[in-house]
Chains A and B, each alone.
Chain A
Amino acid sequence: METDPRYPRPTLLVVDDEERILSALRRTLRREGYQMVTSESVHEALAILATRPFDLILSDQKMPGMSGLQFLEEAGKRCPGAARMLITGWTEEIPPEKLDELGIRGLITKPWDDARLKEILRQARDSVWPVAAAGG
């Protein structure tokens, strides 16, 4: 129903080393109209970002090899137009000034509240979507 080719859907990249979390996020966001790509590895996600841009990027914080903040910083370089968000069980460990410094738009607590997650993503989408639409 949201596949009208005149209005391409916003793209969302989700990174979490936990496949079950990705699965649950897909479920939660099923009807939100995103064109969603998921990855369990930061390195794979960076490789994907090298091939195409995304409107929204949502990443877990604690992952093997690289923290979510490090990944989002790198992702911001590769895809400057994307709205980037962090999801973590330990939001208090993330200094707010660090988020500002890296230009990260949203901090979501895990386990997440469905409505709140959707709302944060919508706001982020609204902030970048017109730009992405114009570009696309």
Chain B
Amino acid sequence: MKQTERSVRIVVAQPGAKPAGIDVTAALRRLGDGVDLEVVADAQSCIDLCAAGEVDLVVVDYALAVHCERILKELRGDGPPVVVAIRGATDDVALDVFRRGASDCVALTRDDVEALPVVALEQIRRFRAARERVAAERRIRHLEQYNESIIQNMNSALLVVDMAGHITFCNPPAGKILGEDPEALRGRAAWAWFSSDEEEVSLLARTLSTGVSYRGAERIVIRSDGTPVPVGISCSPFFDSAGEKIGAVTIFQDLTEVKQLQSQVLQTEKMASIGQLAAGVAHEINNPMGFIHANLFQMAEYLTDMRQVWGRVDDLLQVVRSGDLESIRAAGDTLSEAMRSVDLDYVISDFGKAIRESQEGSERIRHIVQDLRDFSHHDSSEHVLADVNQCLDSTATIVWPMMKQIVVLEKDYEELQTIACYPMQIKQVFMNLLVNAYQSIEAKVGESGEIGKVWLRTRQRDDGVVIEVGDTGVGIPESHIDRIFDPFFTTKKVGSGTGLGLSTSFSIVKRHGGSLTVDSKEGEGTTFRVFLPVERHDDGEIDGD
């Protein structure tokens, strides 16, 4: 940026004839080789030179009269300094040229002209200093605008607070997320949006108190109208030039849309797994439907039988009223015969049994439909405490009909403490793992009539719970094992999977602060292991000091 020192350029405007003995140019030459002198005799040439090149000083002879006036007029304000040489100088003339914009004047006397180099140098120094100051100011202004423009136009929200948590700066995106005019936010406490409660200390508060930086954490800020906004947030302490901590800087993005997309992907993936289950579930509903249907027909027949007997009972009542013993006996015999013929004892006892069995069947259908409906629900936006064993078991119940033909299911559940989670998402992970286990066994045994084994094992650990879903299926080739959690990686044929099952599961577990790992041996089977922590870690923390 710094300009290289260039030679001094002075334009001298004077009449062709030098005043006797007084040589302005000679006087100026004493400034040395570094001075470039150009002599002109009229205003236009002088002005042209000044316009074309970098002229540091103009020295003009007052004797040029109108030319002198014009030079002063044209160069006033914007041009190089103009020093006027005056013959027989009077204060009046000097005052006049100063008024017209001259920077200085010297008398064209033998003595005074000796002072010209000094005057010239001083003018040049001042002029250059002024010019540099202007350039520097322009550069600073440009930098300020540049930075301001970056901050104002960046998509991320930027907010700076002092040590007390008062907002000292925020850009328009920050204002937009917080629901306020950015200007109106200055000086207000950030805690209205970023909680500083003991229970739910915001990252911003923590950065202020501990100096720790956070990067890429997901949090909720509460917009001024009360709407919670999910944000991805990074916080860093903010130091002054002396290294003193004076506040914190936080950058955050509105994740509302990202969250919506994420939930759409989750839902799509879930619906895809429900599609896979549909056949199995339909079968599970069809069986109770089958026997309820048959039982209803049978019960209708039983009713016909009972009506037949009831007709004979009615006949008997009629003849009882007549009091004729012979007729009563005959009617009694007919009744007995009817009862025997329809096998009334059996009909009555089996009628009850058919009702009980049908009730149980319809109860089963109700359960299956309930399970499916539960499964297709969205989670609430809040974590809830859930029994992971129950999540696993109810998911296994839904998947079981699909797999039972070729799979033996072993369950080994340990009592687990409840976990704060999104239960539907956790069930979806289990569903994916169970469907995978089933498909891997199906790929191995085919129609051979062999049976594979799937086991579910849960264990309580100090820091969380571990859920294992294992199978004796085909296993995963070593070359694939690093890629199985990648989105759209699939070895299934088109249409039988989205290729998102494991990657979705992986991100669900990760969002819960847990881990999803796999052990597999090709040809022998696979075990997926889900770990869910009791307490969620503060995601995104990076070392700070």
Q: Please report A residues at the B interface, Cβ cutoff 8 Å.
A: 18, 20-21, 23-25, 27-28, 62-67, 70, 89-90, 110-112, 114
Q: Please report B residues at the A interface, Cβ cutoff 8 Å.
A: 279, 282-283, 286-295, 297-298, 350, 353-354, 357, 360-361, 404-405, 447, 449, 451
Q: Check if A20 sits within 8 Å of B357, measured CB to CB.
A: yes
Inter-chain CA distance A27–B350, complex, in Å, is: 8
What is the minimal beta-carbon distance from B408 to any residue of chain A, in angstroms? 8
Q: A20-B361, A70-B449, A111-B294 are in contact. Are A27 and B354 (CB under 8 A)?
A: yes
Q: A24-B357, A27-B295 are in contact. Are A67 and B405 (CB under 8 A)?
A: yes
Chain A CB within 10 Å — which of B291, B292, B357 has the most? B291
Q: Check if A62 sits within 8 Å of B283, measured CB to CB.
A: yes
Chain A CB within 10 Å — which of B294, B353, B354 has the most? B294
Inter-chain CA distance A47–B293, complex, in Å, is: 31
Residue of B nearest to A64 (CB): B404
A20 partner, pick from B282, B286, B291, B350, beta carbons under 8 A: B291
Q: Check if A65 sits within 8 Å of B405, measured CB to CB.
A: yes
Chain A contacts for B451, CB-based, 8 A: 64-65
Q: Check if A112 sits within 8 Å of B294, measured CB to CB.
A: yes
Inter-chain CA distance A114–B350, complex, in Å, is: 17
* Interface contacts beyond A20-B360, A24-B291: sample of 13 additional A-B pairs, CB < 8 Å, sorted by A: A18-B290, A18-B291, A21-B290, A24-B294, A27-B350, A28-B297, A62-B404, A64-B404, A64-B405, A65-B451, A70-B447, A89-B287, A89-B290
Q: Check if B405 sits within 8 Å of A89, measured CB to CB.
A: no
A-B pairs with beta carbons under 8 Å apart, 22 shown:
A20-B291, A20-B361, A21-B291, A23-B357, A24-B290, A27-B295, A27-B298, A28-B294, A62-B404, A64-B404, A65-B405, A70-B449, A89-B282, A110-B287, A111-B286, A111-B290, A111-B291, A111-B292, A111-B293, A111-B294, A112-B293, A114-B298
Chain A contacts for B354, CB-based, 8 A: 24, 27
Chain B contacts for A70, CB-based, 8 A: 447, 449
Residue of A nearest to B297 (CB): A114
Chain A contacts for B286, CB-based, 8 A: 89, 110-111
Chain A contacts for B353, CB-based, 8 A: 23
Chain B contacts for A112, CB-based, 8 A: 290, 293-294
Q: Check if B357 sits within 8 Å of A110, measured CB to CB.
A: no
Inter-chain CA distance A63–B451, complex, in Å, is: 12
